Structure 1
């Protein structure tokens, strides 16, 4: 089988994120690699997903574990080589899987040759490729901008005798997208990988490309708005409204240029990561008009807010503001606590060792979360291990490697707990991830619920994931149909999906209590459904805790 030529494959697609350091180590280094991913592509295809998003595997000093790139057009030796990537692409396409790679264009590593040259003087060929600014008269930083990872977003460089901007680590200087040469270099990077056969890009921090050239101070935060990042009492980044350090209007024009490049490679697509104070308006600006990003996701569903009222309100705001843009729903990734822990019932998240992927309540809760995104209108990003029901791994301070977590410990434990390696087997060292000591420990609860273990359990959450995702593919209405909510109990998502061929009625109980919905005015018909769902019937319907019911009208 060859990969589909449908240019709109991304619309309604399910995208499976692989964090390469933690997927499978094929070489005994303790770190996952490209060959490891390639060896598991049949497993990924069996889930019923459409594409694989691979987090950065480019050459990097790994101070932010690949999100600090020192060579955009090569593979870091810990992951393999370009030939390994070519094999991965070929095999993925033979399995009808698209490959999207993670492009980090807003910043690079301070070990990149561009920055090494830029910092030498203010009159070399790369002098204006990064954001440099003079100190204030008293030597202080140019303005009040903060780093997401804590502290001022400016670091003094004694060679240039200026400050440089970094929205993240001090070792991740921001590129100056006001310079046309930087824009072209970014486009050249994308084309390098398009020529190598990738099907698209996940664009990291896509609203961070441009800054206010006047370097005006950000105003203090007056409210917590949707999609905001870093809004925690321990992080001063959340004390500001980020009016000038990101989400600048010039970004729209660059995204149009980026789309023009992708249009030369039919079937390629983009999904942008947007974290800002007004994320939905930014998503609308970046995805509308069919001439910029194909789709985008924000941090709205990556927070601790949960429940049907929150999800319904978020979806309705997207419907109202996105216009002809397209959303991508994400409830988990490599940057946030795993959703099975983050959205757990209060009081159940402390004893991680009690987690059991075969526990009926955990299965039902995880599948209700899955239904909330896969039955809604939009595309979906799933994070590795969600299909196994993984909860956040418990780590000690001595285990931590994430600079974000090390800075804010113990109030914030960082991102390592969601990045621990996959567990493939129950009887091999480190859950079959590696024969060497892994870069992060494999959680014992994950080994207990490894792929091997769950494959042998017919009612395990893994099999239900496959069932739901493969069923979803059979119904075009779920990929691109309209969505309209119906009045019902507060804790239930009750809605219709409709196109010119089919209409489905869906109800999802996102609570641990029974709920009753009224489908008296609907003529519910029989249809084939996933075994974890139940059929809606005309009249009053009782939904058990975490139950999903659907029918055809």
Structure 2
């Protein structure tokens, strides 16, 4: 049967201030979602046009990747004006209309704030580089060269090479953890903090419900500019391009993850609380992500939730691997809160990264939507999209252009959404798309799957609806029972309800023993589970107990 849900309005201003706890958040990469004016680039009006699709999934919120004014050298993550919409995406009026329509549909709106760095075309940096004495001279991270003219220390850029760029105006180096055109802001300066908090207030006053905070652990650097130590080769487990980028050869003790960030996050939380808003932080650290996640989300006085890269890596999520991540999380995060994700705009889509069949893809989706924490879904994930191949001549991502062919960049997960199958651009644009449409995606277009019983899209709608019917899945406690030999079993408990969740992550049927309790199979789960003691290959079993 088709499980397209009734898009009845939810009250977006409902009294549940804890709505974020267990929320399902849908990430929109605006360049690739829907083009409304034929220039081949998605825009805010396009998002409005497609919000009915998002609402049909039953998600709680959307996260919109950056749409601010920008030279677009890193596609919006290099901001030149934090308080305006880049004309390629529309106008502030379009943004206001988007907020209004999302709220009509009962969807919260989170926007992507990039606070660790700006574009070198931002007025703040243009002033800062003019001299060492001007009003914003200390708004960015400047340092003198060593006596031999080389950079101040050994810090490396994520995009390759030194994290320091020489500036002939000031005759100093400035820090850039990313592109040379993305200078790092100096948050040790209280004036910089105040300016960034004012940016947050600007968007909160326009009606946003919160933020996704890009590279949240990069906000502060070591004031002494100490060299990072080398990292043992066995620990080089970074998510993006670990095989080609020497960034992964350092233990990043001093260029990020600084203790001063905790005080700033408390200031940021105070602003959020003025508006009953929320924030989810991106923790970009391969070695200590869960430790940082715990520090940033504990105590109810910093950000509400963070996501690390535990399930965004290429490591196959076997039952043992899943169990290891969950045990570490439960032991270390305490009263903190996770936001789990399998895919986003920076990593190879997980259908390809983990080489999943459709059956395996469904089972992992059910697992994701059953974990303790909130969930981020990336546009197209609900369609089961694979990573697209993008030829070198079509590449846009500077990361891929630099490290081709060993690392092909992030364009393969950023190709346009396929909306309809009977259109050469899959309904995304009337013009030439900024990235080519993946032909293999057309067969999975929204229009195709809306007409197919038991399509992947139906499954996602059904699984999200199932999660919504059981508060234990969204907000409940977590107890891991088994994670080995292809089987993961845990319970979720909340307000007199106990839910058993069991997943067979293998190609063979598995016999299981249910823990003690008066269990009743959940017949409304989107899996066939005729036997409570056996799970078929790539199947899940859910049972409930009222206590």
* Cα deviations by residue, 1:308-335 (Å, 9 ceiling, x for unpaired): 2111111111110011100110111000
Listed as ranges, the gaps of 5+ residues in structure 2 are 1-8
**TM-score (norm: length of structure 2):** 0.95
Hey, what's the Cα distance between the residues in 2 that align with 1:445 and 1:218?
44
- Take 2:373 and 2:75, find their aligned partners in 1: how far apart are those partners? 30
Give the drift of 1:88. Answer: 0.4
Aligned partners of 2:274 and 2:429: how far apart in 1? Answer: 40
CA contact (8 A) 1:488 1:517 kept: no
Instruction: Say if 2:85 is the partner of 1:81.
Output: no
Pair 1:238 & 2:248 matched: yes
Question: Matches of 2:188 and 2:494 in 1, distance apart?
Answer: 43
Aligned match of 1:355: none
Structure 1 Cα separation of the partners of residues 156 and 414 of structure 2 = 25
TM-score by length of 1: 0.94
Matching residue of 2:3: none
Match of 1:220 among 230, 233, 247: 230
2:359 — aligned with what?
A: 364
Written as runs of structure 1 = structure 2, the 5 A alignment for 1:159-174 is: 159-174=169-184
Deviation at 1:371, TM superposition (A): 1.3
Deviation at 1:496, TM superposition (A): 1.0
* Correspondence list, 1:142-541, <5 A: 142-222=152-232, 228-230=238-240, 232-266=242-276, 268-276=277-285, 277-305=287-315, 306-344=317-355, 362-487=357-482, 489-519=484-514, 521-534=516-529, 537=532, 541=533
1:370 and 1:71 mapped to 2: Cα distance?
A: 37
Distance apart, 1:506 and its partner CA: 1.1
Is 1:69 paired with 2:61?
no
Deviations 1:346-378 (CA, angstroms, capped at 9, x unpaired): xxxxxxxxxxxxxxxx33211111112111111
- Secondary structure (helix, strand or coil) at the match of 2:165 reads strand
For residues 535 and 550 of structure 1, the distance between their equivalents in structure 2, rounded to whole angstroms, comes to 11
Structure 1 residues 484 and 81, CA, compared in 2 at 3 Å: closer, same or farther? same
User: For the structure 1 residues 227 and 208, does the alpha-carbon distance in structure 2 shift closer, same or farther, using more than 3 Å as the test?
Assistant: farther
Go from structure 1 to structure 2 and tell me whether the alpha carbon gap of 1:535 and 1:90 turns closer, same or farther (over 3 Å shift): farther
| Per-residue deviation, 1:225 | 5.4
In the TM superposition, residue 229 of structure 1 has moved relative to its aligned partner by: 4.8
Does structure 2 retain, via aligned residues, the 8 Å contact 1:423–1:432? yes
Q: What's the CA shift for 1:231? A: 6.6
Tell me how far apart the structure 2 counterparts of residues 226 and 456 of structure 1 sit (CA, whole Å): 45
SS of the equivalent of 2:311 reads helix
SS of structure 2 residue aligned to 1:184 = helix
Q: The residue matched to 1:518 in structure 2 has which SS?
A: coil
Alignment check: 8 A CA contact 1:229 1:275 kept: no
Give the CA deviation at 1:529. 2.0
Q: Is the 8 A contact 1:227 1:300 kept in 2?
A: no
SS at match of 1:101: strand
Deviations 1:173-199 (A, max 9, x none): 000000001000110000000000000
- Equivalence for 1:351: none
**Cα–Cα, structure 1 residues 529 and 243, in superposed 2: closer, same or farther, change >3 Å?**
same
- The Cα shift of 1:263 comes to 0.6
Counterparts in 2 of 1:427 and 1:410: CA distance versus 1, 3 Å: same
Structure 1 residues 489, 237: closer, same or farther in 2, change over 3 A? closer
Q: Is the 8 A contact 1:20 1:32 kept in 2?
A: yes
C-alpha distance after superposition, 1:119-167 (max 9, x if no partner) = 1111111110000011100000110000001100000001110100000
C-alpha contact (below 8 Å) 1:536/1:550 kept by paired residues = no
- Distance (whole Å) between structure 2 residues aligned to residue 61 and residue 429 of structure 1: 29
Provide the rounded CA distance (Å) in 1 between the counterparts of 2:292 and 2:324.
18
Could you tell me which of 531, 545, 548 is aligned with 2:540?
548
SS of aligned partner of 2:27? strand
Summarize deviations over 1:500-553 as a string: whole Å, max 9, x none.
32111111111222222112744321433233352662xxx2222211111112
Q: RMSD over aligned Cα, in angstroms?
A: 1.4
**What runs of 5+ residues in structure 1 fail to find an aligned partner?**
346-361
Query: For 1:272-321, what per-residue CA distance to the aligned partner results, in whole angstroms no more than 9, with x for missing partners?
Result: 00012211111111000000010000011100112221111111111100
Instruction: Note if contact 1:363-1:460 (Cα within 8 Å) is conserved in structure 2.
Output: no
My pick for the range that moved more, 307-316 or 436-445, is 307-316
Task: Evaluate the alpha carbon distance shift between residue 486 and residue 129 of structure 1 in structure 2; reply closer, same or farther with a 3 A threshold.
Answer: same
Residue in 1 aligned with 2:5?
none
State how many pairs are aligned: 533
Q: In structure 2, what is the equivalent of residue 128 of structure 1? A: 138
Aligned to 2:6: none
- Write the distance in 2 (CA, Å) between the matches of 1:176 and 1:35: 35
Q: What whole-Å deviation, never above 9, does each CA across 1:386-436 have from its counterpart, x for those lacking one? A: 000000001111111100001111111110000000000011121000010
Q: Secondary structure at the match of 1:272?
A: strand
Q: CA deviation at 1:238?
A: 0.3
